[in-house]
Structure 1
Amino acid sequence: MANRPPENWRAWMAEVARDVEAGIVGPECVGAAEMYPESLLRATDAVLVAFEAEVGGLVELSDEEVFGAVERVVVALNGVDGDASHGGVGYCTEEREQLCEYIDLTLGEHGVDVAALAARRGISRAEITDAWRDW
């Protein structure tokens, strides 16, 4: 099972905090150890757990069903990204890439041939979220 991106973000923050404490990186990096507010991490996790459950419950794996699930997860992530309760923090380039990769991997783990799915729509597999993505 693919790691949810918030797991990666938590691990990175812990590593930076350890490096600051050990003097490996300077004190100017201490803010990086708090880059992802817990509210953003929890909200992102909740959206991805719901996506996993939805994809796991798809029966036919029709293009319409799969793209429907992709649309719902992307729209929900748009809401997380735009939520002011996270202190103005949202998804940047690296986070976006990890989220898109996670969606792709999760679909693949549930039997979706993502490359073929995208090809039938005339897009690349990297573009499967683009129609709905604001982040």
Structure 2
Amino acid sequence: CVPKRVMNLNLTGSPYMFGQYSIEYTFLNCSGPVYPTKLPVGSSVVRCLSEQDFTAVLTFEKEAEEKLVKEGKCHVTKRVVAPLWWRGFGYGFYPMDMSDVLLQLSWELPGCGDCVIRGGSCGFLG
């Protein structure tokens, strides 16, 4: 469940960083069942975070968030900036269920030039 990991992900102190397509996502908790086809554009159910008495929803559209909250059925649980990716990303396709999205991370190679010239070995610790 990538969305669950993203909610508490902290890359500080790691060699990783978010990929270039990071945007703000809002997690909402909606009481009862929510049908994906009834959600505003830019919103999806996250089944892996949902339970019988509530549905987790993820949106990247501010208007969708406002509509869901205004209707009184949902409340914001967390906002995160992350580079989520899914098949069809960038082509107007938005999945009905965000449980299987991917997280795009990148890293920079360590600057090993001086160490290698001196005959040492170089790499990340841990």
Task: Tell me the TM-score normalised to structure 2 length.
Answer: 0.29
Greater relative contact order (CA < 8 Å, ≥ 6 in sequence): 2
Please state which structure has a larger fraction of its residues in strand: 2
The higher radius of gyration belongs to 2
Please state which structure has a larger fraction of its residues in helix: 1
Task: Tell me the TM-score normalised to structure 1 length.
Answer: 0.28
